[in-house]
Amino acid sequence: MGKEKEEVSLKRGRSDSTTLAQRVPTGPGRGQVAPNPSQAINSRPLATARFREAIGHTQKRGPIRVLVDNVQQESSVRDRAEMDVEEEEDAARAYDEELNVNEQEVEAMIGIESSDEEAVEEDSASLQPPEAKRPRIWPEVSTERAMRQEKELQAIRNAFREEIDIYDTTMVSEYAEEIFDYMCELEEEVMPNPTYMDGQNEITWAMRQTLVDWLLQVHLRYHMLPETLWIAVNIVDRFLTKRVVSLLKLQLVGVTAMFIAAKYEEILAPSVEEFVFMTENGYTKEEILKGERIMLQTLEFRISQYCSPYSWMRKISKADDYDIQTRTLSKFLTEVTLLDHRFLRVKPSLIAAVGMYSARIMLGGNWNEAFVFHSGYTEEQLIPGHELLVEKLLEENFHRQYVCKKYANKKFLKASVFAIKWAKNISGSDMGPESMVLAE
């Protein structure tokens, strides 16, 4: 009976498999011994199957005998746990070494393959023919020619000294040099990509020309300043450089650009409702305002940095004492460049110089040192642009463009009629430009 009671008490006092086995009291003179904390901590990482094996062995042995030395049992358990940990560490170390070996083998294989690929690439590169030189497109020139032109320009600047005209308040002569130096820096920052149409899917250069021609109509109808038109076209080109636009939204881009430019330049800018009316209700007020936000964010609000060719034209006109005929004809020729995408790669200062040079040639003048000094360009630099302008004037049905109708008015001395007639005469005969006279 005593043995059966001991077995029952053993079953009731046994813990589950997740904890250490408890010592069972076997007599009245001995209390229950608590487990060693260090033993419990060391045993946590080990698997529970070994503890279950130990519990299974005690059940088979029958009644538990009284252990004489508790310290010896605890030390044996601790030693067993340490041995298990060492075995697991040895196994993990062996596994890591195996992984390192495998990684080294893989790296060696990759190195061999990469070296083979490099060798193949070198062989193919050696077999390819040398790349042909890219042809230069005006105004790009070779380094030698650019240095020669700069040397010529500097010599003229040193020889041609100009006294400061304190009575010319419009050009603020005291600060003119610093102002134009700053403008030269700005015009480099707001140049559009001259080949942006390659990234567009639905629109073409011909569609851009139609859009600019429509903007010319809107600009003249609402009597806006010339700078407003130039800023609007620059906004359109820079926006199309960064965004792909569908054909249905192209006019929205144009009217929104004009809306933004008018805010910057006009004293009394047309309202957004008037711009909706310009499109014949093709777009809503909300669409224009939304387009304004998108365009300003795309261009990072860099709008006023653009300086139109008119700013440079005022400076160049000082060379001929602001001759009204030369300046009016030059305005028409510079606005013609708005329609020609080939001038997108040309800076505004160079466009102004090309316009003035072409006007001087059409009126029988020359490009003397005074014009070189005030414009900063020699005749050699301007001839290619002049030829592009004449080519544009000779295009079929070019006289139907609105810019021609605008400058056919007597208010503008019928500059477009004169320029187109001059271009046709000079291309069809040997008649010199001296015989052509602009209408009074």
Percent over 70 (pLDDT), the chain: 62
Half-sphere exposure of 320 (CA within 13 A, CB side): 22
Half-sphere exposure of 183 (CA within 13 A, CB side): 18
Q: Are 40 and 20 in contact (CB under 8 A)?
A: yes
Q: Are 335 and 368 in contact (CB under 8 A)?
A: no
Q: What is the mean pLDDT of residues 421-438?
A: 66
Residues 409-413: contacts with CB within 8 Å, 24+ apart? 410/439, 412/328, 412/331, 412/332, 413/324, 413/325, 413/328, 413/329, 413/438, 413/439, 413/440
* Predicted confidence band of residue 408 (pLDDT cuts 50, 70, 90): very high
pLDDT score for 247: 93
* pLDDT of 253 over the 50 cut: yes
R_g over Cα of the chain: 44
Name the CATH superfamily housing domain 309-435. Answer: Cyclin-like (1.10.472.10)
CB-based contacts of 115, cutoff 8 Å, min separation 6: none
pLDDT score for 326: 95
* pLDDT of 99 over the 60 cut: no
Length of the chain: 440
pLDDT score for 72: 47
* Predicted confidence band of residue 162 (pLDDT cuts 50, 70, 90): low
Scanning 160-304, the segments in alpha helix (DSSP H) are 176-189, 205-221, 226-242, 250-265, 272-278, 285-298
What is the spatial distance between Cα 102 and Cα 111, in angstroms, rounded to a whole number?
Answer: 14
Q: Considering only 128-137, 169-178, 207-216, 286-295, which range has the smallest mean pLDDT?
A: 128-137
Q: Are 276 and 311 in contact (CB under 8 A)?
A: no
Q: Which of 33, 54, 32 is nearest to 43 (CA)?
A: 54
* pLDDT of 127 over the 80 cut: no
What does the mean pLDDT of the chain come to? 75
What is the spatial distance between Cα 32 and Cα 22, in angstroms, rounded to a whole number?
Answer: 8
* Predicted confidence band of residue 44 (pLDDT cuts 50, 70, 90): very low
Q: Are 77 and 38 in contact (CB under 8 A)?
A: no
Neighbours of 383 (CB within 10 A): 16
Beta-sheet strands, E only, within 79-167: none
Neighbours of 272 (CB within 10 A): 17
Q: What is the mean pLDDT of residues 144-160?
A: 74
Q: Which of 2, 1, 58 is nearest to 27 (CA)?
A: 2
Q: In the block, which residue shows the tokens 């040398």?
A: 130
Percent over 90 (pLDDT), the chain: 46
pLDDT score for 16: 46
* pLDDT of 427 over the 60 cut: yes
pTM of the model: 0.66
What is the spatial distance between Cα 17 and Cα 48, in angstroms, rounded to a whole number?
Answer: 7
Residues 413-422: contacts with CB within 8 Å, 24+ apart? 413/324, 413/325, 413/328, 413/329, 413/438, 413/439, 413/440, 414/438, 414/439, 415/328, 415/329, 415/331, 415/332, 416/332, 418/329, 418/362, 419/329, 419/332, 419/333, 419/362, 419/393, 420/393, 422/362
What is the spatial distance between Cα 216 and Cα 226, in angstroms, rounded to a whole number?
Answer: 10
Q: What is the mean pLDDT of residues 328-336?
A: 96
CATH 1.10.472.10 domain extents, the chain: 191-298, 309-435
pLDDT score for 295: 96
H or E element at residue 335: helix 324-339
What are phi and psi for residue 286, nearest 5 degrees? -65, -35
Q: What is the mean pLDDT of residues 49-65?
A: 41
What is the spatial distance between Cα 61 and Cα 1, in angstroms, rounded to a whole number?
Answer: 18
* pLDDT of 20 over the 50 cut: no
Give the residue with greater pLDDT, 165 vs 152.
Answer: 152
Alpha carbon distances (Å) from 266 to 148, 262, 275, 422 = 42, 5, 14, 35
Q: What is the mean pLDDT of residues 380-396?
A: 93
* pLDDT of 274 over the 90 cut: yes
Alpha carbon distances (Å) from 132 to 128, 213, 240, 404 = 12, 38, 30, 41
* Predicted confidence band of residue 133 (pLDDT cuts 50, 70, 90): low
What are the tens digits of pLDDT across the range 430-439? 444 444 455 5
Q: In the block, which residue shows the tokens 């077999």?
A: 127
Q: Which of 379, 384, 388, 380 is nearest to 145 (CA)?
A: 380
* pLDDT of 318 over the 90 cut: no
> Measured on CA atoms in the order 97, 102, 106, 111, is the torsion positive or negative?
positive
CATH 3.90.79.10 assigned to domain 191-298? The reply is no
